[in-house]
Chain A
Amino acid sequence: GENVEQHPSTLSVQEGDSAVIKCTYSDSASNYFPWYKQELGKGPQLIIDIRSNVGEKKDQRIAVTLNKTAKHFSLHITETQPEDSAVYFCAVQEWDSWGKLQFGAGTQVVVTP
C-alpha cells in the first residue's frame, strides 16, 4: 500500500516569513494530493489540492508543487501570519483505493509575531 512521509514534524517561523512542508509517497499510481489544516479541537480543513496532471497550483498565500518523477509534493505558505499556526497534513489518494486518503503524520506550524 501507499506510504506517505511528511517533514518536518514541527516548524517555527517568524511572522512574514515563508514556510515549506514536504511529503513523499511511494505509489507512482497515486493521482490526487490534498493538504489539510487542522486547528486545535477541530476537524481537518481542506486548504489546497493538486492532481497528477498539474505541476503547481496557487491560491493567494498558499501553493502546492508536485514532482511526480521524484514522488514528492510540497506546501508553500508565504507571508505567514499568526492565524496560520496549526497542524498541516498532506494526503495521497491511491488510484485503485476507491477514494481513501493516506495521510502524512502532520507538521505543527507555529508562527511567532
Chain B
Amino acid sequence: GAGVSQSPSNKVTEKGKDVELRCDPISGHTALYWYRQSLGQGLEFLIYFQGNSAPDKSGLPSDRFSAERTGGSVSTLTIQRTQQEDSAVYLCASSARTSGRGEQYFGPGTRLTVT
C-alpha cells in the first residue's frame, strides 16, 4: 500500500521567506510526527499529533515553527522568516497505534535549503 508521502522533495528558499512543507500519512494512521535531520545528524523530534488531542509541540525550536493537521490526515509544517540554521531534511512519520506508541513509518523527507 501507499506509504507516507511528503512534498516538495526539495525546497530552496531565501533567508527571511516563509515555507510550507506537506505530509500525507498512511491512510488510517491516527498519529503523525514531524522530525528534523540536520546534515550528518540524528533525528530531532519537532511535533506530534494524535487524533483530536492537542498536539505535543515540545520539540519546536522556536515560535517561527508551527504545524497543523487538517481533518485528522494531511499535515503542514510552516517555518516563518527562515534562517540558514533551518536548513535540514524535514521528515514526517505516522503510526497506526491509537496510543501513539509503537511502530512509526517515515516518509522520504523534504530537503530544505535556506540561502
Q: Which residues of A contact B (CB under 8 A)?
A: 6, 31-32, 34, 36, 41-46, 49, 89, 91, 93, 97-106
| A99 near B31: Cβ-Cβ < 8 Å | yes
| B105 near A101: Cβ-Cβ < 8 Å | no
| A99 near B100: Cβ-Cβ < 8 Å | yes
Q: Which stretch in B11-19, B61-69, B75-83, B106-114 binds the other chain?
A: B106-114
Interface string of B72-115 (1 = CB under 8 A from A): 00000000000000000001000101011111111111000000
CA distance A34 to B107 in the complex (A): 16
Nearest chain A CB to B59's CB is how many angstroms away?
Answer: 7
With a CB–CB cut-off of 8 A, which chain A residues contact B104? 34, 46, 99, 101
Nearest chain B CB to A113's CB is how many angstroms away?
Answer: 25
**A44-B43, A106-B42 as given contacts; A98 in contact with B106, CB under 8 Å:** no
With a CB–CB cut-off of 8 A, which chain A residues contact B101? 31-32, 93, 98-99
CA distance A45 to B91 in the complex (A): 12
CA distance A63 to B40 in the complex (A): 25
Range of interface residues on B (Cβ < 8 Å): 20 to 34
Nearest chain A CB to B5's CB is how many angstroms away?
Answer: 10
Nearest chain A CB to B77's CB is how many angstroms away?
Answer: 15
| B103 near A34: Cβ-Cβ < 8 Å | yes
Nearest chain A CB to B31's CB is how many angstroms away?
Answer: 6
| A98 near B42: Cβ-Cβ < 8 Å | no
Kindly identify which residue among A31, A91, A100, A105 contacts B59, using a CB–CB cutoff of 8 Å: A100
| B100 near A98: Cβ-Cβ < 8 Å | yes
With a CB–CB cut-off of 8 A, which chain B residues contact A36? 106
| A100 near B33: Cβ-Cβ < 8 Å | yes
CA distance A103 to B101 in the complex (A): 15
Nearest chain B CB to A27's CB is how many angstroms away?
Answer: 14
Kindly identify which residue among A49, A100, A103 contacts B103, using a CB–CB cutoff of 8 Å: A49
